Amino acid sequence: MREKELEKLKDYKYGFSTDIENFKAPKGLNEDVIKFISKIKKEPKWLLDWRLKAFERLKVLKEPNWQKPKYPKINYQDLYYYSAPKSFKEKPKNLDELDPKLLETYKKLGIPLQEQKRLNGIAVDAVFDSVSVATTFKDKLTEKGIIFCSISEAVQKHPELVKKYLGTVIPITDHFFATLNSAVFTDGSFVYIPPNVRCPMELSTYFRINASDTGQFERTLIIADKGSYVSYLEGCTAPMRDENQLHAANVELIALDDAEIKYSTVQNWYPGDKDGKGGIYNFVTKRGLCKGINSKISWTQVETGSAITWKYPSCILQGDNSIGEFYSIAITNNHQKADTGTKMIHIGKNTKSKIISKGISAGQSDMTYRGLVDIFQKANNSSNYTQCDSLLMGNKCGAHTVPYIKNKNSESTIAHEATTSKISEEQLYYCQQRGLNSEEAVSLIVNGFCKEVLQQLPMEFAVEAQKLVGISLEGSVG
């Protein structure tokens, strides 16, 4: 039995689950559950009302079904909307009070919570199932006036900021999954960078779904005030389970005048086994608002996990001269499916956007790039450049490109390019001739194919991502 499990873990090394007693809300989605979540988090009344308003809206919304990867109907009444380690009913004051089993889990994941934290110099906020577990490096950040904490803490300590910005980018009247999240979100990270502060280190969140039958609904809110800069990393893993689990997070970024936000994701949720059983449904809404002039938001994502990935990190370029960027690598193998891309909405003048998307599909997987570039009539002198390349490995997989391009301004330019091809025999032959085996050769070529995007990642992540790219494609050649 033990050996079998070990065998399984070879494929997905984060597939273990932690035996921690969980404290859950009753199954199902109704007003009582929402009130329960709100109560347990000691939320103020305005937030509860806000949640209930979202829930009202949810009742009339229909689940979208235009996406390429279809999935069996999710029974929203059969999910737990709140799950927390029991020892968390009273929130621990510092790391020493944490359940040792939890710490062990994070150690297995390679997340520096305690001893490594000083060496690594990355401030981490870890979210386990539904609650934020610990935030490191707090003192150093507080010194600069940076607020980096869980969103439930922010609701208590900085309600004015949360109230002002929550739901301004993703309103509660948005699409089904975003509204679902608004109604039942449990935790997530909150970042506020005060004016003219350059955040001295990378901020990072690690998400992990542990309990079964739980949906994870976290909410991230990042605000970069005038002239500030922040780089934020997000990573995620989940244990291997046979049933599909839902992850519907909302991420809102707001960049004011001259501010810059860089948001990087390495998404490695459990992708299901070789026959496509189990895995995470990753239905995430990520949206950034370049509110001020000269602001910039840049999304970088490496998507290797999840049974179904369905997300479009977007930029709304509202401020004049604002810049939006999107760099993406999406890799699907076995029975994974991905429908991902971005939206660049040019509203302000002189706005610029750049999209680089690299899709790799292997096995029996299916990958779709879907993007929107929309230049409004008043967005004079705006420009967009899009490049989306797909690489196919094997003849059972699919790669699709569905860009929507709208230009309503005669002074603006849009350029779009897309190619689809396979790894050429010559390239493989060349590498093998120099002593690489076929798998190493493929890994090398794929890494080259992805380089433009990998370069955008912060150093620590880039190394991890590069490895991940190799691992994800293991067994897909030959």
For another protein, which is the closer residue by CB, 47 or 418?
A: 418
Q: Is 413 in the site for another protein (CB under 8 A)?
A: yes
Angle between helix axes 438-454 and 425-433 (nearest 10 degrees) is 110
For another protein, which is the closer residue by CB, 395 or 433?
A: 395
Provide the pairing of β-strand 147-150 with 279-282: unpaired
Q: Is 477 in the site for another protein (CB under 8 A)?
A: no
Total Cβ atoms within 10 A of residue 415 = 11
Q: Is 400 in the site for another protein (CB under 8 A)?
A: yes
Q: Which of 46, 404, 429, 430 binds another protein (CB under 8 A)?
A: 404
For another protein, which is the closer residue by CB, 179 or 368?
A: 368
CB of 305 to another protein, least distance (A): 23
Q: Which of 118, 142, 402, 438 binds another protein (CB under 8 A)?
A: 402
CB of 246 to another protein, least distance (A): 26
For another protein, which is the closer residue by CB, 11 or 452?
A: 452
Beta bridge pairs of residue 367? 338, 399
Provide the pairing of β-strand 314-317 with 123-128: unpaired
CB of 420 to another protein, least distance (A): 4
Pair of tokens at residue 183? 């109604």
Q: Is 433 in the site for another protein (CB under 8 A)?
A: no
Applying CB under 8 A, which part among 132-140, 339-347, 393-401, 463-471 lies near another protein? 393-401
Residue 478, amino acid: G
Pair of tokens at residue 221? 């809110």
Q: Which of 44, 276, 394, 458 binds another protein (CB under 8 A)?
A: 394
CB of 374 to another protein, least distance (A): 9
CB of 326 to another protein, least distance (A): 17
- What residues have CB less than 8 Å from 336, skipping those under 6 apart? 271, 272, 276, 279, 306, 307, 308, 309, 363, 365, 366
Total Cβ atoms within 10 A of residue 79 = 19
DSSP class of 288: E
Q: Is 63 in the site for another protein (CB under 8 A)?
A: no
- Listed residue (203, 196, 195) closest to 230, CA to CA: 203
For another protein, which is the closer residue by CB, 78 or 411?
A: 411
Rounded to whole angstroms, how far apart are CA atoms 10 and 154?
Answer: 39
Q: Is 377 in the site for another protein (CB under 8 A)?
A: yes
Applying CB under 8 A, which part among 108-116, 187-195, 236-244, 416-424 lies near another protein? 416-424
Q: Which residue has the tokens 């370029």?
A: 317
Q: Which of 65, 94, 395, 433 binds another protein (CB under 8 A)?
A: 395
CB of 270 to another protein, least distance (A): 26
Rounded to whole angstroms, how far apart are CA atoms 177 and 114?
Answer: 35
Q: Which of 92, 398, 458, 470 binds another protein (CB under 8 A)?
A: 398
Pair of tokens at residue 11? 């494929």
For another protein, which is the closer residue by CB, 196 or 413?
A: 413
CB neighbour class for 193 (10 Å; exposed up to 12, middle 13-18, buried from 19)? buried
Rounded to whole angstroms, how far apart are CA atoms 358 and 418?
Answer: 10
Q: Is 9 in the site for another protein (CB under 8 A)?
A: no
Q: Is 426 in the site for another protein (CB under 8 A)?
A: no
Q: Which of 19, 410, 426, 433 binds another protein (CB under 8 A)?
A: 410
Start-to-end Cα distance in the chain: 30
Pair of tokens at residue 409? 């301004």
CB of 375 to another protein, least distance (A): 9
Q: Which of 75, 419, 432, 437 binds another protein (CB under 8 A)?
A: 419
Q: Is 438 in the site for another protein (CB under 8 A)?
A: no
**DSSP characters over 231-276:** EEEEEEE----SSEEEE--EEEEEE-TT-EEEEEEEE------TTS
Per the document, the length of the chain is: 478
For another protein, which is the closer residue by CB, 227 or 363?
A: 363
Rounded to whole angstroms, how far apart are CA atoms 392 and 368?
Answer: 12
Q: Is 66 in the site for another protein (CB under 8 A)?
A: yes
Q: Is 331 in the site for another protein (CB under 8 A)?
A: no
Q: Which of 412, 443, 472, 476 binds another protein (CB under 8 A)?
A: 412
Q: Which of 178, 191, 414, 462 binds another protein (CB under 8 A)?
A: 414
Please, which of residues 266-325 interact with another protein by CB under 8 A? none
Q: Is 142 in the site for another protein (CB under 8 A)?
A: no
Q: Which residue has the tokens 């330019």?
A: 413
Scored b (16 or more CB within 10 A) or e, 451-472 reads eebbebbbeebbebbbebbbbb
Q: Which of 411, 437, 438, 440 binds another protein (CB under 8 A)?
A: 411
CB of 394 to another protein, least distance (A): 6
Q: Is 390 in the site for another protein (CB under 8 A)?
A: yes
DSSP class of 199: -
For another protein, which is the closer residue by CB, 309 or 409?
A: 409
Q: Interface with another protein by CB under 8 A: which residues?
A: 66, 377, 390, 392-422
